Amino acid sequence: SQQGEEDPQALSIQEGENATMNCSYKTSINNLQWYRQNSGRGLVHLILIRSNEREKHSGRLRVTLDTSKKSSSLLITASRAADTASYFCATDDNQGGKLIFGQGTELSVKP
């Protein structure tokens, strides 16, 4: 079974609004990563947060991690139409081997 699961599965917002996506996982991790996938393309790394970090920022992205709840959230502020994509969280097996992806959140930002 998959380690990470995203919520919601789909999200539609207007340009300028904020978008929040959540990820839950099952076992202990070394770090958690977020990726973006534009339609028909490979995945692109967005941000990595380590298990001893609680919050991390990168441009308009803000990621939080709550290891006690085994959950993470990705916030995109002031969204743009170009942010339309699928977003995936990925967690490791804490042994440097497997990196497991969730099912993703499909974000649509309408101009």
Q: Given the rule CB under 8 A, which residues bind other proteins?
A: 2, 30-31, 33, 35, 41-45, 48, 88, 90, 92-93, 96-104
Distances (CA, A) of 79 to 15, 35, 43, 107, 111: 5, 16, 19, 10, 10
CB of 11 to other proteins, least distance (A): 16
Cis status of the peptide bond prior to 8, with omega within 30 of 0: yes
Q: Which is nearer to other proteins, 2 or 28 (CB)?
A: 2
What is the C-alpha to C-alpha distance for residues 7 and 20, in angstroms, rounded to an integer? 9
Q: Which is nearer to other proteins, 2 or 18 (CB)?
A: 2
Q: Which is nearer to other proteins, 73 or 104 (CB)?
A: 104
Q: Which is nearer to other proteins, 15 or 61 (CB)?
A: 61
Nearest to 79 by CA among 20, 1, 22, 2: 20
Nearest to 87 by CA among 70, 111, 67, 63: 63
CB of 92 to other proteins, least distance (A): 5
CB of 105 to other proteins, least distance (A): 10
